[in-house]
Structure 1
């Protein structure tokens, strides 16, 4: 996947083959969801095995499965916003 050092070096150098670029597209997923500035929301991410589900304010907004999600040393989940965002009351717990 994208964290493989050899692949990362090619990505940084802009030297990805079309096949490798297509493979990497299967390793990430975005769930665009319109939100208004100045409003608080509840985001819940659940990781079970090789599947991750995202719910916003109690409604499922996306689900993604990839063998990299269940990797035993998985330590990173990235949230991206187009503007600034404030995170409050962050809780992380083991599901099982």
Structure 2
């Protein structure tokens, strides 16, 4: 199976731990969604691109199509939120956690922002004003315009070192407030990005994109930010 380089959309920009705010940028408010996967069907999750399944108390994502990673999505209108979930790599080297607005036509597939969990890094990206913005997306296909496109990406993404081991459970917390995105792993602030596209008024869905043999997810919770 061909494994697409799903992290290549984020141009490398190394940031330092000092760039991460020590205090949360958002606090939990009213609950919007919770799922512990104690069943055998997907429920509200939509396997947009195969394959996502539920069993043994977890959600499993596994790439079964050559041209794209598996996409499992839950629909909720949201703007500023706190999201928590547990995950375990079981063969895949990483995955994306993505916010979209299907009605937004200014970026590829309505992508707004994402967090890419890779073997050695956490990478945060502003898709709306970054690599997925339609004009930049097309420019980067043309080698003659790629350098110009890359200049437009300055400040639209960040990368922070972190090593994820296979078959080990981790707890991720995503705080999205205004134009800020802050991620903690196992309670430790780990990555941060401030970029204008993150502040997009409405995110209509949240999804995981999994490339390769598999990732397990559990205890997914979404709160409206106070």
TM-score by length of 2: 0.36
Distance 1:35 1:24, change over 3 A: same
Q: Does 1:67 align with 2:196?
A: yes
Alignment of 1:43-62 (within 5 A): 43-62=172-191
| Rg comparison, structure with higher value | 2
Which residue of 2 is the match for residue 31 of structure 1?
A: 160
Q: Say what the alpha-carbon RMSD is for the aligned residues.
A: 2.8
Number of residue-to-residue matches in the alignment? 96
The residue that corresponds to 2:151 in the other structure is 22
Match of 2:225, SS state, is coil
2:221 is matched with which residue?
Answer: 91
Aligned to 2:20: none
**Alpha-carbon distance in structure 1 between the residues aligned to 2:210 and 2:164:** 13
More helix by share: 1
Alignment check: 8 A CA contact 2:140 2:149 kept: no
Greater mean deviation of Cα atoms: 62-71 or 78-87: 78-87
User: Once structures 1 and 2 are overlaid, which stretch shifts more, 81-90 or 44-53?
Assistant: 81-90
Whole-Å Cα distance in 1 between the matches of residues 207 and 159 of structure 2?
Answer: 12
Q: Distance in 1 between matches of 2:148 and 2:142?
A: 16
Residues in 2 aligned to 1:73 and 1:83: alpha-carbon distance in whole angstroms: 32
Which one has a larger percent strand, Structure 1 or Structure 2?
2
Describe the superposition over 1:36-75 as per-residue Cα deviations: whole angstroms up to 9, x where unpaired. Answer: 2111010000011111110000000111100111121445
Q: What are structure 2's unaligned runs of at least 5 residues?
A: 1-128
Match of 1:3 in 2: 132
4+ runs of 1 displaced by more than 4 Å? 74-84
Contact 2:180 2:192 in 1 (8 A): yes
